[in-house]
Structures are given as structure tokens and as C-alpha cells.
Amino acid sequence: MKQYTYLLINFFSILIPFLFSFERRIFFFKKMRALLPALIITGAFFIIWDHLMTVWNVWGFNREYLIGYYLWDLPIEEWLFFFTIPYSCVFIYESLNFLIKKDRLLKYSKNISGTLSVILMIVVLFNTEKLYTAIKLTLTVFMLVYVLIENFDFMGKFYRAYFVSLIPFFIVNGILTALPVVTYNDSENLGIRIGTIPVEDTVYTLLLLLMNICLYEYFKNRLKKDVKPQSTY
């Protein structure tokens, strides 16, 4: 049973969001045409990143908690992770948008993005030799600068969803790093842990969710434009 641990973590991570995707008021499942390409594009990016980090011995996976099937040096459970976790986080995003109409963080979103960019870049400058820290934080800075330039009107909603998503993140990642299912080479990160979780993982989650939300909103808007108004006679 132990070998099914990571698989079960994936299953239970998506179970409730998936079941509630058919809830009539939110009906998240109707948004699949926008969500799936966002998941696929972001997932492809992170799979490449994950493969490189595994090959470069930045992190690894404990075979005791895996079913044993690998694809491109990554356990199949890790591939599923990039579907189950973003799916659940985007569900949280849409649910919060439905439940809380007013975007109270919108006016602060630029300041949050700008401040985070500066802090992360300073950390990178002092830790260029640490692969996980340097690469992940730099990629996140680029993404934050991009959203600042584009001035997206959903960034307040994004940060709201991100802060709420940190709750299940600490639960899921806490299990993955406590057992551990995922092991880290601390010479390639800051060595600072929140419990058993490397602090960089909070930035990892931010980038994962931000890329998915940006693409999800892009495809949603594109689909709206493609819908032609019906003629009435």
C-alpha cells in the first residue's frame, strides 16, 4: 500500500474540486475549453523544468512511495501532479471569484508584484550558485514583471486565490516532504524550511498558479471573442 502514497495524494488533492466542478452555480466543468490548454502548456513547461532538476540532482523521489512507472526520468505521479494541483488551484480561484464579488486586492496587486520581484531578485543575486533558488526565483521575477507590464485586471483575484491555496499547499507539500516522497539537495536551495517544506516551494507554487491563471484567462477571453452574437428576426 505504501507504494500508492503519491498516487493517493494526487487523487485526494483533486477529488473535492472535481466533484464540485459540476455544482450548478459555478459549473466549473463548463470552463474546460479554457482550462485544459492552460494546464497542458504550463504542465509542459514544468515537466521540462522538473526533468532538469531531477537530472541535475536538485531533488529526487523516494521509490518506496511510488508505483514504479517513469516517463522521462520522472515518476508518473509527478506528471499527474501538474494536472491535479493546478486544476484544484484554478477551481479555488473560480470559486472565490463567485463567492466574493469585490476584488479588494486589485489596488494593491501592482505593489505586491513589484515588491515580490525586488525581494526575489535580491535573494537571487546573493545565491546565484544555488540552482533551485536562482532559477526558480528568476523565472518568477520574469513572470511578475510580465504581469506588471500587461497590467492584468485579475491580479487581485489571483493573489486572493494564491493566499488561500497556500493552505492546501502546506498540507500536501508537508506530506510530500515529511515522509519524504520528494527529497531535496539542500546545497541547491537556501536551506530554509517551513516545517519540512523548502521556502522556495512557496515561490514554485506562485509561478505554477500564475502561469495557469494567465493562460486560463487568456483562453477564456479568446473563447468569448469567438462566440458570434446570434441574429434575431
The phi, psi pair for 165, rounded to 5°, reads -65, -20
Distance CA 225, CA 219 (A): 10
Q: What is the predicted pLDDT for the residue at 227? A: 65
Grid cell digits, residue 63: 521509490
**Least confident range of 26-30, 158-162, 173-177, 213-217:** 26-30
Q: Is the dihedral of CA 15, 19, 21, 23 positive or negative?
A: negative
Q: What is the predicted pLDDT for the residue at 27? A: 83
For the chain, the structural domain boundaries read 2-213
Residues 6+ apart with CB under 8 A from 75: 6, 61, 66, 67, 68, 69
Alpha carbons within 13 A on the beta-carbon side of 192 = 9
Q: What is the predicted pLDDT for the residue at 229? A: 56
Q: Across residues 186-208, what is the average pLDDT?
A: 97
Does residue 199 register a pLDDT over 80? yes
Q: What is the predicted pLDDT for the residue at 78? A: 97
Query: Mind listing the pLDDT tens digit for each residue in 2-20?
Result: 999 999 999 999 999 999 9
Query: Mind listing the pLDDT tens digit for each residue in 93-152?
Result: 999 999 999 999 999 999 999 999 999 999 999 999 999 999 999 999 999 999 999 999
- pTM equals 0.93
Q: What is the predicted pLDDT for the residue at 231? A: 47
